[in-house]
């Protein structure tokens, strides 16, 4: 590490993140600078980001302001910072329907330990599941959100045929996951439907000798009678 911080030429400052009273600069991977407040990152749960970036802040400055590098492109950093300043699930990045941007913002927030952003994103995810279950399932799987992934699988598996088919319309998030993730969805759907059919059969009542019994009970009785008859025939032939 050099004795003096490296002073870098100013690059593009993105409004509204060109604050004159900024005490921190976030630099995107495509070399765009955002002048922000450290306190905003602290409120967003970014203490770890600031702690891990101490060396960056000691080595690089912009007009005397420490610079922290973030491994995301300008568009993603812009939306991430907007969420950091609001921490509201009603924020446009959540409500826009741009699932791809939503996932990339959450990935970046997760990478840099912005826990409050991730919590807000998870809250939004729960409210969005009924509106776009397939995309939400794929996002959860991509982000390794186990609880949300299971919830999405259960939701999709429980949909009746018309709604289930409609939910499988192509979404760009399919390009971001392995085939095994989609296969798991189809497998869970098959298992759920098989269990549901068996459950329905177990509650269908039929008449048998004047008594009302379920199909499962009746089949079981027939099997029992058949086995008993087979045993009697074997004993007779001995």
Which pTM value belongs to this model?
0.69
Question: Domain 1-128: what homologous superfamily?
Answer: Potassium Channel Kv1.1; Chain A (3.30.710.10)
Question: What integer is the mean pLDDT of 205-211?
Answer: 52
Domain residue extents for the chain: 1-128, 130-201, 206-237
The predicted-structure confidence for 69-112, as pLDDT tens digits, reads as follows: 888 999 999 989 988 888 766 666 676 678 888 999 999 999 88
The predicted-structure confidence for 187-202, as pLDDT tens digits, reads as follows: 877 777 766 655 555 5
Reading the block at residue 207, the tokens are 């008449």
């Amino acid at each position: 590490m050099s004795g003096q911080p490296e002073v870098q030429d100013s690059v593009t400052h993105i409004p509204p993140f060109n604050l004159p009273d900024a005490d921190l600069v976030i630099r995107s991977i495509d070399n765009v600078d955002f002048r922000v407040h450290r306190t905003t990152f602290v409120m967003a749960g970014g203490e770890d980001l600031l702690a891990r970036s101490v060396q960056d802040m000691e080595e690089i400055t912009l007009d005397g302001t420490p610079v922290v590098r973030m491994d995301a492109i300008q568009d993603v950093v812009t939306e991430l910072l907007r969420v950091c300043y609001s921490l509201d699930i009603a924020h446009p990045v959540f409500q826009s329907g741009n699932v791809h941007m939503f996932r990339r913002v959450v990935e970046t927030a997760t990478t840099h330990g912005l826990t409050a952003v991730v919590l807000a994103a998870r809250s939004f995810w729960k409210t969005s599941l009924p509106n776009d279950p397939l995309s939400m399932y794929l996002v959860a799987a991509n982000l390794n959100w186990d609880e949300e992934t299971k919830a999405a699988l259960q939701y999709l598996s429980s949909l009746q045929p018309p709604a289930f088919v409609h939910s499988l319309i192509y979404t760009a998030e399919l390009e971001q996951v392995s085939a095994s993730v989609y296969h798991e969805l189809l497998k869970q759907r098959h298992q759920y439907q098989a269990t549901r059919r068996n459950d329905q059969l177990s509650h269908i009542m039929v008449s048998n000798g004047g008594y009302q019994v379920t199909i499962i009970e009746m089949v079981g009785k027939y099997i029992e009678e058949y086995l008993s008859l087979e045993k009697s025939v074997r004993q007779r032939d001995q």
